[in-house]
Amino acid sequence: MEKKQTLGVMAGSLRKQSFSRALGHCLGALAPEHVTIEELPSIGDLPLFNQDIMDETGAPTALTQLAERISAVDGVIIISPEYNWSIPGALKNALDWLSRLNPAPLAEKPVTIFTCSPGLLGGARAHPPIRNVLHALDCRILARPEVQITQIKAKMAPDLSAVTDSATAEFITQRLAAFSAFAQRG
Ligand code: FNR
């Protein structure tokens, strides 16, 4: 029997109707039985990074709450679009804040990157910059195969409550199982 695990989801988009966030909400239904999927506190509650905030008033509450949940989960799944061929600013901001904590909650944490987009590339160009930042934070990254969900609008229910494309659902289930095994290897 597999050990029970909790994997946290961090979305790289803040908008209410975000495909990335919606995909995160669908992962629970696609994960192996022993895996619980938890939505991490929103990165949208963090101020823009400014070291003065840390030095003068300490870590913002939104940061300590996010860090606590990251420390508690067994691995983190980042689901993000690409913005202008790169990492969305809100996600970079969150990773910068997290990197300033000691102990750093993402250090040695198993992390995997999913990207998605309504377009044909599935956010592929966000993988290298996100991975680069995660390397700087000393995360354990599940590198391959990269998860890029192309044309996501056509693969989800109109209300974004489920992944309706069976091949995509199966692929995500396989990748969640692979990430769960990777995170369990310690
Ligand atoms: C985009 N989008 C986009 N798409 C893409 O394939 N390559 C890109 O470089 C960009 N750049 C980009 C920049 C900005 C500022 C925005 C707002 C959008 C389109 C993007 O993939 C699309 O809007 C997604 O739906 C955004 O993800 P969420 O919010 O649905 O998760």
For residue range 66-120, list pLDDT tens digits in order. Answer: 999 999 999 999 999 999 999 999 999 999 999 999 999 999 999 999 999 999 9
For residue range 16-44, list pLDDT tens digits in order. Answer: 999 999 999 999 999 999 999 999 999 99
pLDDT of residue 132: 98
- The best mutation among 15, 82, 86, 152 to test binding of ligand 1, ranked by most ligand atoms within 8 Å of the C-beta, falls on 82
DSSP string computed for 132-161: HHHHHTT-EE--SS-EEE-SGGGGB-TTSS
Is the shortest distance between the CB of 18 and ligand 1 below 6 Å? yes
**pTM to 2 decimals?**
0.97
* 5 CA to centre of ligand 1 in angstroms: 31
Mean pLDDT of the chain: 97
* Residue spans of alpha helices (H) in the chain: 19-30, 51-57, 61-72, 89-99, 127-136, 166-184
Tell whether the model's pLDDT for residue 3 goes beyond 90.
no
* 26 CA to centre of ligand 1 in angstroms: 20
Is the shortest distance between the CB of 148 and ligand 1 below 6 Å? no
Tell whether the model's pLDDT for residue 56 goes beyond 90.
yes
* 185 CA to centre of ligand 1 in angstroms: 34
